[in-house]
A and B are shown apart, each in its own frame.
Chain A
Amino acid sequence: MSDRQVTPNRKTTINWRGLLNTLSPVLALVAVFELFVQIAPSSFATGRNVEMIARQTTIVGVAALGMTLVIIAGGIDLATGSIVALSTVVIAWLLQYAGVSPLIAALGGVAAATLFGLLSGVLITRLRVVPFIVTLGMMLVVRGAAKGIGREQKIDVDPTRLAWLDDLLASVPPDRSWMLLPPGVWMMILLALAMAALLRYTRLGRHAFALGSNEQTARLCGVAVERVKVIVYALCGAFAGLAGLMQFSRLTVGDPTVAVGLELNVIAAVVIGGGSLSGGEGSILGTLVGALIMTVIASGCTQMGLPNWVQEIVTGAIIVVAVALDRLRHRRTA
């Protein structure tokens, strides 16, 4: 009897709060953007600038997709910046010295990145050392490997061998204005959709949430905990590799010293977007918004002529405030 009274309520009560929860990072983004529209020079709100913000978000954004998965599963990957650098070096090396086609070179870079992600996953599960330590180690190992491949030098690539590789993140030329955004940005959007679907509609995604929420429960329920972890870190590596591809496209050089500390921006994006470092929470929409918020701030500050150190202070403050607000919201809903 009581069941029947409960059922009709279901539809009316849940959704508002749920919707507000998903959209609150978006609202924050809109607010930050609107703030700069008001205070920054008029060049800020132009389509051109918006496109530039999108382009500048891509590298962090793509890497953050993989990081979201790892953080949802209750882990962390500190090697992301190093893997981005490694990926650029491998791509440049393959183009310059192995003379392969751009596509093969790109795949090679991503494959190398995936391999190192996989290695992190295997070490974490086999040695039973916490992810923070393993990936801290991998951060140095991978950085070293990148420097080794490049003999401590940048690898410059002959511009004729680049083909399409250098316009992934270039501004859209007028004759291709139908594209609206550069191909790299479209790639990020597609990858984001794929990752969102993976998280929501696949066993791997649901298992990742379960693992981050309560690893013991996941084990009890027959989730192949170790395998899921290895896959999660391998995927995170792969996304870092793709971010490396974007990075290479932007500078067209294999640079083993690039993207130092990038992983912290990536983690910040996930966390601003509502990811919890204790696992079980996070969303792709939130992560992308988190990455965008950081770029919007950087772009706005630049246009206002504020020096770099002000940007850094503002970004740092935003990270702490965003997470504090998120916790506050959680306490309300709990």
Chain B
Amino acid sequence: MAERIDAHESAVRLEMQAVSKRFGATVALEDVGIKVAAGEVLALVGENGAGKSTLMKVCSGAVKPDSGQMWLDGQPYRPGNPLEARRAGVAMIYQELSLAPHLSVQENIMLGMEPAKLGVVRWGQVRQRALEAISEFDNPELTPDARVSRLSVGSQQLVEIARALAIGCRVLVLDEPTSSLTQQDVERLFEIIGRLKQQGKAIVYISHFIEEVKRVADRVTVLRDGRVVGSSAVAAITADRIVAMMVGRQVDELYPRSERPAGEVILEIEDLAGLQNPKSASLQLRRGEVLGIAGLVGAGRTELLRSLFGLEPVKKGRIRLGVYTGPASPVKRWMQGAGLLSEDRKEEGLALSLSVADNVTLSKLKGFGPLGLVLPGRQDRATRRWLEQLDIRCRGPRQPASSLSGGNQQKVALARLLQHDVDVFLLDEPTRGIDVAAKALVYKLINALAAGSPGEGREPKAVLMVSSYLPELMGVCDRVAVMCRGTLGPTHRIKEVNEHTLMLEATGQEATA
């Protein structure tokens, strides 16, 4: 089935052959082989759970494979742990950054390998080597003494890359590097990847975004269910073909769109301002409508949703939600029929150590027993309904949320709003970090919510959705507004805009057309 990879013209830097790994009964990897040459970017794509992360953990020494071989520059390579892998020159930049926020840039870069004499750190050398590493990036924010917690996410990522460079890495693995970056930072990152490539580094680039893969990678290997389903030069394959390989079928109708009759205005805000962001936001949202908010990361979109929901203070402006006016706490907002899906699933969206059932029912622990008692059996029964409807893959309602895959966790977080039966869905990056199949389900769900189903007596709901992924906003929304530096622009009907005009507005340039 797998298309054979032909021997590359340049030297193969990292080769993994016939790698298999099982976790209990689950086959995470089966007979997987990849090759990366020096000066090449290999994109590794696949749905969540396809085995990309496990494969890279094997390569970076965090997971021991059950069988299989690896070679680094022709030498057998068998790292016992991540430290050994780093020493051998294989560095991995994880999705969740692993920096010490309280320390400075230079301390982070040299962490664990500080040059020292008799136990006393030689700061001069630390500084010099850190400077060498960051000089590659040409980023004014990055100075050796800057505290890492004060840096933007994009710059923090560069610190991680600098750390990899400082140990002289030969293979650099980037796991979903752009998921929390602004457009400018993404551009800057691509530039740096290009430069590292010229220096002869081998780069493995894991991503969900096919557009990025097309731009940055030379070759692409697609994983599905722990196997390699195909490998190809990027130039020789279409984006549609890659997606089809990932999901094992053609993705048609990713964005369903039913008849959505716009109803009464259920959420209205006027000149809303928070402490820092938003600076000014006005909008009207109707039942049966999906309103998108586009913009760069940091433009204040999340803060808009959070201040609406009472998680951040409102400084001025008017809010009306149904019959209620004025700001309110999250406790009240839930009672008023609004629910917020957090952009940060792990830190805020879910209580990971609690069960799926506890997470789904947490916002409304009522009606699960007499005298206000909460009977676990009834919680489970309510939860099972959503497990089935949203196709949440888990052993049962009592499984801890931490053991679910990202896509399934997101569905659990969404199930909470459904279980609470809210009228206004405030969705912050609802498809961040989830696989294509789960995304398709979320789009289907949003459409079903907005359309309602009069036959079953379900009223159309209203959806206010923040997303950094423009194709998804274009596909899902009826109207869209752009937030730029804290100010929300006018809402446009989706037919009147395209990705280009939205991006211009988001970056603060007037559309010239």
Contact = CB atoms under 8 A, between A and B. Distances in A.
A3 to B, nearest CB: 6
Interface string B334-362: 11000010100001111111100011001
Contacts of B347: 214, 216
Q: 10 tightest A-B contacts by CB? A: A213-B351, A222-B334, A214-B351, A221-B363, A216-B348, A221-B362, A10-B396, A217-B351, A203-B365, A222-B331
Nearest to A224: B331
Given A3-B391, A10-B396, A14-B396, A218 B331 contact: no
A210 interface: yes
B449 to A, nearest CB: 19
A209 B401 CA distance: 14
B311 A219 contact: yes
Interface in A187-225: 200-203, 205-207, 209-210, 213-214, 216-224
B354 A203 contact: no
B372 interface: yes
B374 A280 contact: no
Given A209-B354, A280-B351, 5 more contacts: A202-B372, A210-B351, A221-B363, A222-B334, A222-B364
Interface of A: 2-3, 6, 9-10, 13-14, 200-203, 205-207, 209-210, 213-214, 216-224, 280-281, 334
11 contacts: A2-B393, A3-B387, A9-B395, A206-B374, A210-B358, A210-B362, A213-B351, A214-B348, A223-B331, A280-B353, A280-B354
Contacts of A214: 347-348, 350-354
Contacts of A223: 331, 362
A75 B38 CA distance: 52
B373 to A, nearest CB: 5
Given A201-B375, A210-B351, A219 B330 contact: yes
B331 A281 contact: no
Interface residues of B, number: 39
B74 interface: no
Contacts of A2: 393
Given A3-B391, A14-B396, A222 B365 contact: no
B395 A220 contact: no
Contacts of B358: 206, 209-210
B362 A217 contact: yes
A303 B359 CA distance: 49
A219 B365 CA distance: 14
B81 to A, nearest CB: 16
Nearest to B396: A10
Contacts of B340: 220
A220 B349 CA distance: 7
B362 A206 contact: yes
Contacts of A13: 395
Contacts of B510: none
A120 B399 CA distance: 35
Nearest to A9: B395
A206 B360 CA distance: 12
B490 interface: no
Interface string B429-465: 0000000000000000000000000000000000000
B388 interface: yes
Nearest to B333: A222
Interface of B: 311, 330-331, 333-335, 340, 342, 347-354, 358-359, 362-366, 369, 372-376, 387-388, 391, 393, 395-396, 398, 402-403, 416
B423 to A, nearest CB: 15
Given A6-B395, A213-B352, A280-B354, A218 B373 contact: no
A221 B388 contact: no
A187 to B, nearest CB: 23
A201 B348 contact: no
Contacts of A205: 374
A55 B295 CA distance: 66
Which of A10, A200, A207 counts the most chain B CB atoms within 10 A? A10
Contacts of A3: 387-388, 391
Contacts of B373: 201-202
B437 to A, nearest CB: 13
B348 A220 contact: yes
Contact of A213 (B330, B353, B365, B375): B353
Given A210-B358, A221-B362, A202 B311 contact: no
A12 B243 CA distance: 37
A14 B380 CA distance: 14
Contacts of A6: 393, 395
A139 B72 CA distance: 60
Nearest to B361: A206
Contact of A222 (B363, B375, B398): B363
B313 to A, nearest CB: 14
A52 B22 CA distance: 52
A223 B311 CA distance: 12
Nearest to A217: B351
B349 A217 contact: yes
B23 to A, nearest CB: 11
A201 B365 contact: no
A195 B373 CA distance: 13
A217 B369 CA distance: 24
B352 A10 contact: no
B372 A203 contact: yes
A236 B350 CA distance: 27
Contacts of B402: 334
Given A201-B369, A201-B374, A220 B396 contact: no
B398 A14 contact: yes
A118 B201 CA distance: 61
A203 B398 CA distance: 17
Contacts of A218: 351, 362
Which of B352, B353, B362, B402 counts the most chain A CB atoms within 10 A? B362
A216 B340 CA distance: 13
B374 A213 contact: no
A200 B363 contact: no
Contacts of B350: 214, 217
Nearest to A281: B353
Contacts of B366: 203
A282 to B, nearest CB: 12
Given A220-B349, A221-B362, A210 B354 contact: yes
A3 B388 CA distance: 7
A221 B403 CA distance: 21
B376 A200 contact: yes
